[in-house]
Every structure is written in C-alpha cells, then in structure tokens.
Amino acid sequence: QVQLVESGGGLVQAGGSLRLSCAASGRSGRTFSSYAMGWFRQAPGKEREFVSAISLSGGSTRYADSVKGRFTISRDNAENTVYLQMNSLKPEDTAAYYCAAAWAGGAAGYSPNRKIEYDSWGQGTKVTVSS
C-alpha cells in the first residue's frame, strides 16, 4: 500500500478552477509509477463516485461523463504526485475528493474506474462550488 495525501481543495465560485494534488509515499518497495491513480468524489448523502483515472505513465486516461472536457488528470512520477485540474466548476461538483492508488501489476494501460480495484486511499480534500 501507499500513503496518499490530497491538497488543493477549497471554496470557488461557479465557473472557476481548482487544481488538486495528491502526494504519494510508502515503504512497500513498489514505486509510484507501478500504480494506476484515480480520483473519486463523494457528496454529502451520496455514494463515492469515480471521477478520473490515469495509467502508469499517463498514456491512458479515463473520465466520468459528468467531468469530461472540464477536468484533466495528470501525474508526475518523478515527484510521486497526481493532479486533477478542474475547470468550469459547477455547484454539482461540490464534494470531498479522494485520491486512490491501484497496483497495476505491470499493465501499462490500466486505469480502473471501479472503487474495488483501488487498494490505497487518501483522506480527501473538500471542494465547494458556490453558485
């Protein structure tokens, strides 16, 4: 497992932007670049839902339909960090955002969208979008 710490959340007006960061660390012996990384979000009273995922080298990305064209996921393996650039934010984007890591077993294009495939989770960072 890896330890994940999210940052960058906050309060923003509708139409604004935020960039979330997730820093990874661990002692498992596995490098950050061995993990597919994902972002999920959970609004109050709702299930945690998939937002975006990125493969080991960043060559493959995946987005939920609700954020496609507005959010961009990226990673910097040298810095052990994954990012989520969020533009054109809407009030319905308000949620706690969680970073997650999925051991890829060497699968270069692995970018899962199911919670069950992720084995490490951060504590979350809160995003509030005002109308």
pLDDT tens digits, 16-72? 999 999 999 986 678 899 999 999 999 999 999 999 999 999 999 999 999 999 999
> Buried (b) or exposed (e) across 9-31, using 16+ Cβ within 10 A?
beebeeeeebebbbbbebeeeee
Tell me how far apart the alpha carbons of residues 59 and 116 are, in angstroms, rounded to a whole number: 22
pLDDT at 15 over 70: yes
Give the burial class of 69: count Cβ atoms within 10 A of its Cβ; 0-12 exposed, 13-18 middle, 19 or more buried: exposed
Can you give the pLDDT at residue 84? 98
pLDDT at residue 50, rounded to an integer: 98
Integer angstrom CA distances of residue 54 from 7, 44, 128: 18, 26, 24
Residue 30's pLDDT is 80
62-116 tens-digit pLDDT: 999 999 999 999 999 999 999 999 999 999 999 999 999 999 888 888 999 999 9
